[in-house]
Structure 1
Amino acid sequence: MAKPDNRNDNVEKLQTMKEQTAHNIEAAEETMANTDLTKAEKRAIQEKNNRRQQSIDSFEAEIADEMSDRKNGYK
């Protein structure tokens, strides 16, 4: 039998994932600024940071959805 959908802590989990992703962006930017990387390596880091930013945008949308659902009766 499937477990019931437990959404009690979805907002908190999503917020944590968003914060960790933002931290990864900051760490990557520090790496680019403080080391001798090739142009290709810098480009790869920037591309990854762009994907990370897209993930943050998705987390924010999902957090908003979960908050709305929580206000409308989900616990």
Structure 2
Amino acid sequence: MANSRHSKPDDRSNNVERIGDIIKNTEEKLHEAEISLEFADPMQSEMIKEKNKRRQKSIEGLKEEMKDEMAARKKGEV
């Protein structure tokens, strides 16, 4: 029986694609939330706008992470 205390090795081979999927999903949620603003009351509207600001920051960070992963892949680090 294998020892369960050992963690799996870091597999970064699909990070670029995985991050791309996360970005796409987040952008879709941001867009859907923008549409829902049309039907939101003022309190909901403010909450949606704040959440979308956080989503936008997340997207920016993910794009930077994706660039780093792409550079690592080109260097053969992945």
- Say whether the fold is shared (TM-score over 0.5): yes
- Alignment partner, residue 49 of structure 2: 46
Q: 1:70 aligns with which of 58, 69, 73?
A: 73
Task: Tell me, in whole angstroms, the C-alpha distance in 2 between the residues paired with 1:25 and 1:51.
Answer: 10
Unaligned runs of at least 5 residues, structure 2: 1-5
Matched-pair identity in %: 36
- Alignment partner, residue 30 of structure 1: 35
Unaligned runs of at least 5 residues, structure 1: none
Q: 2:21 aligns with which of 16, 22, 26?
A: 16
Q: Which has the larger radius of gyration?
A: 2
TM-score with structure 2 setting the length: 0.88
Task: Provide the secondary structure at the position in 2 that maps to 1:3.
Answer: coil
- Alignment partner, residue 12 of structure 2: 7
Aligned residues: 73
Cα deviations across residues 25-62 of structure 1 (Å, max 9, x unaligned)?
Answer: 000011112x1x22111000000000000010011000
Q: Which amino acid is 1:6 matched to?
A: D
Task: Tell me, in whole angstroms, the C-alpha distance in 2 between the residues paired with 1:51 and 1:71.
Answer: 30
Across the aligned residues of Structure 1 and Structure 2, the Cα RMSD in angstroms comes to: 0.9
TM-score with structure 1 setting the length: 0.92
Greater relative contact order (Cα 8 A, min sep 6): structure 1 or 2? 1
